[in-house]
Amino acid sequence: MDVPAAANVLGTLGAVCWSIQLIPQIVINYRRHNATGLQPTMMMLWAWAGVPLGVYNIVEEFNLALRIQPQILTVLSLVTWIQCFYYEKRWSICRSLALVVPVMCLMGGVQAGLIFALRHAKERDMEWPLILMAVLAAALLAAGVGSHYVDIYLHRTVRGISFIFVAIDALGDVFSLLSVVFEPQIDALGMIIYGTELVLWMGVFACGAYYNLIPWLKRKYGKRIVPTSSDTAQTGDTTANTRTTSIALHDLPSSTSVFRTPSAELDVHRQRSAHSRMGSVVHLPSRVA
């Protein structure tokens, strides 16, 4: 359906949501002067995802908001990515800028070149280059979200994931998806790009319901299961092996990071434990001869 006003408004809302979900992380890193728990790989994947997504949206002549949206995603993702080096690896500002500025220029140059090339290909009725851009955009966005699935599978927990900002990101996908629907012609590949990430975020919410909501409901309304003697013996043998991983991880408070993953949360817990052990050794009273 062709509703230009609705397409622009929805596209703008999608761009705003994608900005809101990254800007707080940048501010958090700045205020606490660290980027503990963040995955630089995830940020870089999203930064590169903005390149084929921008190419596709511009060549397909989507509304202005959807053309600008990938540029916002790339810039904010790169800022978050370089913060990991600046704060965690103690890089200087000059060294950080010497890395991120050329990367940003490279991405901009690649996108500009591809836009000219794919416009020429489109004029010659070549469809596969645009299909390739759509596949790359969807794959890179999905790979960024997929890091959460790996950690959830390995640690059997969603502790550390901020579902508020996951919801904002997913809402950005919803608005962008609807914006594509209100374009003069419904673009199936554009819907697939935003729909793929939306489905993956919905899966993260499902994992949150499985690991957090359902156990909470069972504790509040369900019947407590009394363990048998055989169950007690089996669980007793495995408690020592899991105490330092899953149990410790579940006991951790929720993260103040936007995109911290369970494995990163576990790393933070280990770092804190190591610091506390070092502090206890330092403050031991000396023996009197």
- Between CA 264 and CA 252 the distance in angstroms is 12
What sections of the chain are H helices per DSSP? 4-20, 23-32, 40-59, 64-83, 93-123, 128-155, 163-181, 188-208, 214-221, 229-242, 248-250, 262-282
| Orientation angle between helical segments 23-32 and 4-20, nearest 10 degrees | 20
Dump pLDDT digits (tens) for 15-54.
Answer: 888 877 788 888 888 998 888 777 888 889 999 999 999 9
- Between CA 37 and CA 148 the distance in angstroms is 12
Q: Which two tokens stand for residue 99?
A: 């890395």
Residue in the block written with tokens 């084929």: 52
Dump pLDDT digits (tens) for 205-245.
Answer: 888 888 877 777 778 786 554 455 554 444 454 444 443 33
- Between CA 42 and CA 197 the distance in angstroms is 14
Structural contact between residues 9 and 161, judged by C-beta atoms closer than 8 angstroms: no
Interacting residues of 79 by C-beta distance below 8 A, sequence separation 6+: 26, 100
Q: How far is CA 131 from the centre of its chain?
A: 24
Residues of the chain below pLDDT 50: 225-226, 231-235, 237-256, 280-289
Structural contact between residues 136 and 55, judged by C-beta atoms closer than 8 angstroms: no
14 Ramachandran zone, left/alpha/beta (phi>0; psi -120 to 50)? alpha
- Between CA 63 and CA 8 the distance in angstroms is 6
* pLDDT score, position 93: 93
Interacting residues of 15 by C-beta distance below 8 A, sequence separation 6+: 65, 66, 68, 69, 72, 172
